[in-house]
């Protein structure tokens, strides 16, 4: 049996760990709230721009409007992997890295990779993969400028035909207890119906065209021209799509950390209970032993 | 004598309400929209959006976007729209300096120059709106 002192040290150690996990839990919960608020704030914009772009593309009816819409033969793919900057978030990063590694194993080794967040960057730097760019440390202070910068880089490279399709792997925020690793097509642009945060994959060009045409056909005055407006909207659509992905991932990270820290706090509590019981037992045993010794001693004195 | 206007940016819904008129810095020249305007979709560039409501005239700076009006419902979609109070003058000045530095850099690539020119344009626009009080 451990001595009283050893037990005391362990108990105080676990108590301070518990304090830390509790604090981290509260920080995560505040950060998650903020991330969720940002997602909600971005929703009306995403919805409007998507709706408008859909309408306009239907009205355009011509074959090739913009490079970013045209599906071309895929020779090289590009995969963007979104992880977090910090650890201690349960299986958040493990999931994303496992999913990406499995997916990459199936693809051409020439597949180009862009990582966002320190964890994925560190992991894939050590691997033999074509890491063409990485953005560690974006989540410390997540701003729309950084998000736009990444989109600009991806779009420029896509236009230069460095790759022919772009997919993004990230953790989607389902709920506080559930995060889902998902893969989403980014380029060429397919219409992502953004409604109440649920993404429904639909093809911009082919989806029940007739029905939609009837509903939306309005004779607009276009200033300067329909094509120009679509060209203006496409980068905006991409930017908001990527911004939403970063926000989702950020919210998911905080949620994962929240859950992990809650479990850790609870585990510490359970351990403390067990240790306190043994501490009390040890204390009792020591007292009993001491009394016995005193009584024994007194008895011995009496006899002499 | 009014119609609905909504201004959306990725960060928030900047404005939502009924207005008497709105002036847009269109790419082909600034224009004003009143009630019962014909359906119109237009690009607009860096500049100032003026909104006239019952309570007066409000000015917003914008980095460009798309404007739509249909059946007395107007929508502005832009990367950034800021009211005078929301403009961060210090940040605008900083990005102006940064952009100017890039423009002077002989090693800057074509893309970087293009970016810098746009940034400079937006920053100057913000500063102008603030200082024009």
User: Tens digit of pLDDT for each residue in A235-290?
Assistant: 888 999 999 999 999 999 999 999 999 999 999 999 999 999 999 999 999 999 99
Nearest-CB residue to A48 (from B12, B40, B77):
B77
Same domain, B33 and B59: yes
Q: Is B79 near chain A, with CB under 8 Å?
A: yes
Nearest-CB residue to B79 (from A218, A228, A236):
A236
Same domain, B25 and B58: yes
Interchain CB distance below 8 Å, A223 and B75: no
* A246 touches A171 (CB < 8 A): no
Same domain, B17 and B61: yes
Q: In a mutagenesis test of the B interface, which of A45, A141, A239 is the best target, namely the one with the most B β-carbons within 10 Å? A: A45
Chain A residues within an 8 Å CB radius of B77:
45, 48-49, 52, 233, 236
Same domain, B17 and B71: yes
A-B C-beta contacts closer than 8 Å? 80
Interchain CB distance below 8 Å, A224 and B43: yes
Interchain CB distance below 8 Å, A236 and B66: yes
Residue A18, min C-alpha distance to chain B (Å): 36
pLDDT of residue A83: 93
Q: Is B66 near chain A, with CB under 8 Å?
A: yes
Same domain, B126 and B68: no
pLDDT of residue A14: 95
Q: Is A220 near chain B, with CB under 8 Å?
A: yes
Interchain CB distance below 8 Å, B66 and A233: yes
For A136, A260, B21, the CA distances from A272, given in Å and listed in that order, are 38, 18, 67
Q: Is B42 near chain A, with CB under 8 Å?
A: yes
| Touching B: A residues 234-253, CB under 8 Å | 236, 239-240, 243
Interchain CB distance below 8 Å, A45 and B38: no
| Nearest residue of A to residue B74, measured between CA atoms | A48
Same domain, B58 and B14: yes
Write the secondary structure of chain A as one string of H (helix), E (strand) and C (coil): CCCHHHHHHHHHHHHHHHHHHHHHHHHHHHHHHHHHHHHHHHHHHHHHHHHHHHHHHHHHCCCCCCCCCCCCCCCCEEEEEECCCCCCCCCHHHHHHHHHHHHHHHCCCCCEEEEECHHHHHHHHCCCCEEEEEECCCCCCCCHHHHHHHHHHHHHHHHCCCCCEEEEEEEEEEECCEEEEEEEEEECCCCEEEECCEEEECCCCCCCHHHHHHHHCCCCEEECCHHHHHHHHHHHHHHHHHHHHHHHHHHHHHHHHHHHHHHHHHHHHHHHHHHHHHHHHHHHHHHHHHHHHHHHHHHHHHHC
Residue-number span of the structural domain to which B16 is assigned: 3-84
pLDDT tens, residue order, chain A (304 aa): 568 889 999 999 999 999 999 999 999 999 999 989 998 888 889 888 888 888 887 777 666 667 777 777 888 899 999 999 988 888 899 999 999 999 999 888 889 999 999 999 999 999 888 899 999 989 988 888 889 889 989 998 998 888 889 999 999 988 888 888 999 888 887 654 433 333 434 444 444 444 444 455 677 888 788 888 888 888 888 999 999 999 999 999 999 999 999 999 999 999 999 999 999 999 999 999 999 999 999 998 887 6
Residue B28, min C-alpha distance to chain A (Å): 7
* B35 touches A217 (CB < 8 A): no
- pLDDT tens for residues B63-90? 888 999 999 999 999 988 988 778 888 8
Q: What is the CATH number of the domain that holds B24?
A: 2.60.15.10
| Single pTM value for the model | 0.81
Same domain, B64 and B98: no
Same domain, B59 and B123: no
Same domain, B41 and B11: yes
| Nearest residue of B to residue A43, measured between CA atoms | B10
Q: Is B38 near chain A, with CB under 8 Å?
A: yes
The total of structural domains in chain B comes to 2
Same domain, B21 and B64: yes
3-state SS class at B12: coil
| Mean pLDDT, chain A, integer | 85
Same domain, B72 and B98: no
- pLDDT tens for residues B30-61? 999 999 999 999 999 888 899 999 888 888 98
Same domain, B96 and B71: no
């Amino acid at each position: 049996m451990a001595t009283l002192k050893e037990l005391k040290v362990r108990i105080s150690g676990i108590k301070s760990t518990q304090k830390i996990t509790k604090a981290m839990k509260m920080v995560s919960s505040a950060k998650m709230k903020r991330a969720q608020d940002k997602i909600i704030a971005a929703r009306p914009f995403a919805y409007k721009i998507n709706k408008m772009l859909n309408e306009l593309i239907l009205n355009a009816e011509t074959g090739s409007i913009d490079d970013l819409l045209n599906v071309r033969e895929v020779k090289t793919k590009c995969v963007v992997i979104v992880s977090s900057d910090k650890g201690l978030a349960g299986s958040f990063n493990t999931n994303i890295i496992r999913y990406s590694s499995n997916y990459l194993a199936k693809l051409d080794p020439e597949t180009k990779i862009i990582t966002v967040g320190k964890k994925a960057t560190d992991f894939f730097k050590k691997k033999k993969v074509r890491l063409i760019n990485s953005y560690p440390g974006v989540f410390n202070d997540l701003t729309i400028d950084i998000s736009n910068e990444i989109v600009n880089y991806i779009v420029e490279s896509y236009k230069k035909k460095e790759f022919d399709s772009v997919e993004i792997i990230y953790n989607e925020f389902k709920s506080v207890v559930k995060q889902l690793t998902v893969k989403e097509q980014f380029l060429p642009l397919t219409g992502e119906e953004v409604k109440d945060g649920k993404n429904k994959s639909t093809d911009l060009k082919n989806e029940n065209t007739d029905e939609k045409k009837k509903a939306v056909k309005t004779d607009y005055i276009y200033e300067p021209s329909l094509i120009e407006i679509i060209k203006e909207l496409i980068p905006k659509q991409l930017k908001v799509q990527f911004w939403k992905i970063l926000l989702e991932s950020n919210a998911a990270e905080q949620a994962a950390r929240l859950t992990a820290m809650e479990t850790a706090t609870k585990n510490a509590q359970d351990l403390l209970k067990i240790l306190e019981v043994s501490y009390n037992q040890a204390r009792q045993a020591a007292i009993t032993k001491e009394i016995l010794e005193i009584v024994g001693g007194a008895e011995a004195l009496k006899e002499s | 004598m009014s119609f609905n206007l909504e201004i959306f940016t990725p960060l928030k819904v900047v404005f939502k309400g009924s207005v008497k008129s709105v002036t847009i810095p269109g790419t082909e020249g600034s224009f004003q929209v009143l009630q019962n305007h014909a359906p119109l979709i237009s690009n607009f560039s860096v500049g100032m959006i003026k909104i006239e409501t019952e309570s007066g005239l409000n000015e917003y700076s914008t980095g460009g976007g798309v404007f739509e009006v249909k059946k007395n419902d107007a929508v502005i979609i832009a990367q950034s729209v800021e009211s005078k109070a929301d403009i961060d003058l210090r940040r605008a000045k900083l990005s102006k300096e940064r952009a100017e530095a890039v423009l002077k850099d002989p090693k800057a690539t074509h893309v970087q120059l293009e970016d810098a020119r746009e940034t400079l344009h937006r920053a100057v626009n913000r500063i102008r709106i603030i200082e024009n009080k």
